[in-house]
Structure formats: structure tokens, C-alpha cells
Amino acid sequence: MTEKEKMINGLPYDPRDAELARLRKASKTACAAYNLLPPDSEGMEAALKAMLGAVGKNPWIEQGFRADYGFNIFLGDNVFINYNCVMLDCAPVKIGDNVFIGPNCGFYTAVHPLKAAERNTCFETAKPITVCDDVWLGGNVTVLPGVTIGKGAVIGAGSVVTKDVPPGCVAVGNPCAVIKELL
């Protein structure tokens, strides 16, 4: 198995691998080019479709966007992502339809070992992130590896989402916790 195949399948992989380094460089180049496009230009949607795994109808990503690989990011229809979003997509990051993401949000799929001796080997794993339909994330939200945010949930600004959030609720804080049901 290649290091890329290990990464995509959630197995320990070496991010120093030449193929992975080349793919990260290509993603940085694509993000930099996207971020330099004139605002609201016709080429923005085509650039997103070229750099991401899948893009639904009516995507809107404000500039200042960064991604590790890009090919592991899947956007539904009518997704709005505000300024300075970072997606470390070692595993899939799936964003559903009608999702609104505030400024300065981060989605981090990489998992590093807790023990220093293991961490020093530079091997890591990755777990996917799923944001279901009709979700709103306030500004400065951080979503950690393996998390699913349920349909219709609202995540308050500044929250750190460390575990799954059920559908139809408001969740806030660090760590993020449900404070109200919307149904």
C-alpha cells in the first residue's frame, strides 16, 4: 500500500512521503492561485472544482482558504465558507447542503500519537469529518478528527468540537456541548 492509500484508509502513514509532499505542494499552489483571483470573478467556481474532490451547486468560499490536499474535500450544494478557512484533509471532509461556515474555522482530520516516542516517528493517522445538511458554524470554530455534526445543528462561535453533535441542536463551548434543542 502507498502512503497515500494508508492515509485515505485511516492507517498509520508517513506524511514525509514524496508523493504526499508533492500533493500538498500542488494543493498549496492551487489555494494560492484561488486566493489571488479577483473577488467574485467567474473563474472562482472552476478553480474550486479543479482543486476539491467534489463541489455542488452554488459554492462560495471566501478567499484566504487553505487545504492540505484538496482532493479529500467534498462540498454539497449552497455551501458558504467565510474568510480564512483551513481544512487539513488527510481524511475526507464532507460538508452537506446549505451549510454556513463562519470566518476563521478549522477542520483538522490528522491524529498524532499522544506518546512522545510514537509521535517522534512522524507517523500519524487521520479520521474523517462530516458536517451534515443545514448546519451553521459560527466564527472561529474548530472541528477535530472523527467528528460528525448532525443535520440542522448550530455550533456557537469559538467552539472546539471534540465529539459528535446530534441533529437539531445548539452546541457551544470548549469542549463543545449541547445547550439547547431546536426541534
So which residues are the catalytic ones? 112
Pairing of β 86-88 and β 125-126: unpaired
Class of residue 66 by CB neighbours under 10 A (exposed 0-12, middle 13-18, buried 19+): middle
Q: Where are the alpha helices (DSSP H) in the chain?
A: 3-8, 18-36, 43-51, 116-119
- Rounded CA separation 3/78 (Å): 33
Q: Where are the alpha helices (DSSP H) in 41-114?
A: 43-51
